[in-house]
Amino acid sequence: MKKLVALLVVLMFGTLSCYNTYHITMDQLKELQSSDKGALVVNSEEGQKVEVNQGTRLFVRDVEGKKWQVTPFNFKVTGAQLVASDRDYIFMLSQLKPKGEVELLSTAKTVGAIAVAAGLVAGLIAYTVSTAGQKSFSSPGE
């Protein structure tokens, strides 16, 4: 039973991984500073075309590996700094890794995680119903 509970806890945290991450160069990140159309397509280092809009999760990482979210089309990259005024970030470019990260929601991963979680819950309910009438503890006198 403890294993099942542990598995359910792991699956709850699994929803955090329902995104596909694409890496873009700093030059492509600079293109995402502003857009007249509200959306822009960039090429990832993985060779995929990735559409970025206002709702897209966009990140930069500092040289220590910490991830910082940046709002698409609402930041400025100068020769030496990245400024995201809506999040009160000012980074020297030397503090940042020379790549950005774009995260897009993965429909397949999300549906898969929901299906596995639903199957586990149904299995737990079926197990509980099937063992409801049985004794689970033995009496000390037996």
Task: Please state whether the predicted TM-score (pTM) of the whole model is above 0.85.
Answer: no
pLDDT at residue 89 in the model: 93
Residue 125 is encoded by which pair of tokens? 């309910």
Q: How far apart are CA 66 and CA 70, in angstroms?
A: 13
Question: Mean pLDDT over residues 25-31, rounded?
Answer: 92
3 state SS for the chain:
CHHHHHHHHHHHHHHHHCEEEEEEEHHHHHHCCCCCCCEEEEECCCCCEEEEECCCEEEEEECCCCEEEECCCCCEECCCEEEEHHHCEEEEHHHEEEEEEEEEECHHHHHHHHHHHHHHHHHHHHHHHHCCCCCCCCCCCC
pLDDT at residue 140 in the model: 60
Residue 95 is encoded by which pair of tokens? 């503090």
pLDDT band of residue 117 (cuts 50, 70, 90) is confident
Question: Mean pLDDT over residues 75-96, rounded?
Answer: 93
Question: Would residue 6 count as lying in a domain?
Answer: no
pLDDT at residue 28 in the model: 92
In sequence order, the 6+-apart residues with CB closer than 8 A to the CB of 18 are 105, 106, 109, 110, 113
pLDDT above 90 coverage of the chain, percent: 48
Question: Would residue 120 count as lying in a domain?
Answer: no
pLDDT at residue 71 in the model: 93
Question: Would residue 90 count as lying in a domain?
Answer: yes
Question: Would residue 63 count as lying in a domain?
Answer: yes
Closest CA to 82 of 69, 109, 121: 69
Question: Would residue 31 count as lying in a domain?
Answer: yes
pLDDT band of residue 141 (cuts 50, 70, 90) is low
Question: Would residue 77 count as lying in a domain?
Answer: yes
Structural domain of 72: 16-106
Most confident of the ranges 60-64, 101-105, 115-119: 60-64
Q: How many CB atoms lie within 10 A of CB 81?
A: 15
Question: Would residue 141 count as lying in a domain?
Answer: no
Is residue 16 over pLDDT 60? no
Residue 56 is encoded by which pair of tokens? 């897209």
Q: What is the pLDDT of residues 35-78, one digit of tens each?
A: 777 889 999 999 999 999 988 999 999 999 999 999 999 999 99
Q: What is the total count of domains within the chain?
A: 1
Question: Would residue 73 count as lying in a domain?
Answer: yes
Q: How far apart are CA 44 and CA 67, in angstroms?
A: 18
Answer for the pair 94, 79: CB distance below 8 angstroms, yes or no: no
